[in-house]
Structure 1
Amino acid sequence: MSRSERLLDLLQTLRRHRRPVRGTQLAAEHAVSLRTIYRDIQTLVAQGAPIEGEAGIGYILQPGFTLPPLMFSSDEIEALLLGSGMVARAADPALAKAAQNALAKITAVLPANRGSEIEASGLLAGAIEPAVVDRVNLAPLRSAIRAEQKIWIAYHDRDGVATERRIWPITITYCARVRLLAAWCELRGSYRHFRTDRIAELAEVGERYPRRRRTLIKEWRELEGLPQPG
């Protein structure tokens, strides 16, 4: 790997983390010495990258710094291609179309000698037949998650018992053959998981939930024993 590639990889690593990352962690992840990490950080800062921190404490890349999409590696291009294909086969129609559009935009800005990698890729997302079919359009549900809005749902549990819930949706997990909605349930006063195929109806409430989704997700992850991002 050339030094320029290593510097770009280091920037990408810092972009993934929301909290300061220690030099020893960066050195281990990139398989280089701690001295090399310190030197590369100094080079990036000198070139204008807004990196804050110091040796022994950690480093963080300030929000807003972007890299041109032309810098994708071959592995990253294949990951994007495979990921968009998997989304296109497993998500609701609106999200599937968005995945195809995103890939088209990425292809359009790649250099001419790189665009052919998309067409010639040896990775394909195979067809899959969902075990269940959603009865409602998930696009409004995804919109409610982004906007931190409460929704009302008519739900049937695994025994077929019907209930109505007002919930604060925070995440949708796309499993291989089903989709799981995690939300705070006002009826139960706790976090609950709902299979989207068991939602018979949903409607916007027109009311924002009282806590930030970022806080709810952190709390939910702790209760589920899931690692926190970054």
Structure 2
Amino acid sequence: MIRTLLISVTSAACLSAAAHAQQIVEASDGGVVTGYVSASGITRLRFTSDAAASVQMAEGGEGAGFSLQHEPATGDLYLTLGRLPRQGEAIGAASFFVTTRAGYTYQVELAAKATPSTQIEVRNPDLARRQTEQALSETSLDDAVVALTRAMWAGALLDGYEIKRPVVRERAAGTLRLAVRATYESDALQGRVLMARNPSRGDAPARSRLFRTWSQPRMKTGLEPPRHPVRRV
């Protein structure tokens, strides 16, 4: 820990200079990316967790314009001054549209600035949110079912689930009497804790179809109720 703190302190001066050359811009689909572009060096434009796919850039105009190169491997864009300005000639700003591989389009408006090479990082909060939701949706269903089953068996709380404990009302399911003791509900799964009672004198078979038909689950998880007979209680 001490070594890490010492490194952080000695690097602070270097980091401040590097951070000045790094521009971070947040923009949503159809939004405008603003900032500055180096008039004397190279400006790198990159997209967090995304990549530029196509660029529409106007040619000509007044003043010394910028040229743009697309790096296919990374999807980054590199802007450089097209030519040295003539005596008294203004340096034109960079203005173009970018469409990314994720399907987002941005309007880029960058003013020229007398600064060394710089970097611009575009972050889209909608893309980050979409990737998070996708990662959650790709979570193993088996893992989710196991966690839900364990919580229901133990009668424990489970993050992301609302637990309801209704008034116990028995209903007939074949020769058995079933009642819901608790319901675990989330956006993706629903689990029900059932109590089975056999009021007859002998044993009664517990068929999986009785449980599925009676409880009407939202999603089939592959879990089957026990097939052994339910004894009279």
Give the shorter-chain TM-score range.
Answer: under 0.3
User: What's the TM-score, normalizing by structure 2?
Assistant: 0.22
Task: Pick the structure with greater CA Rg.
Answer: 2
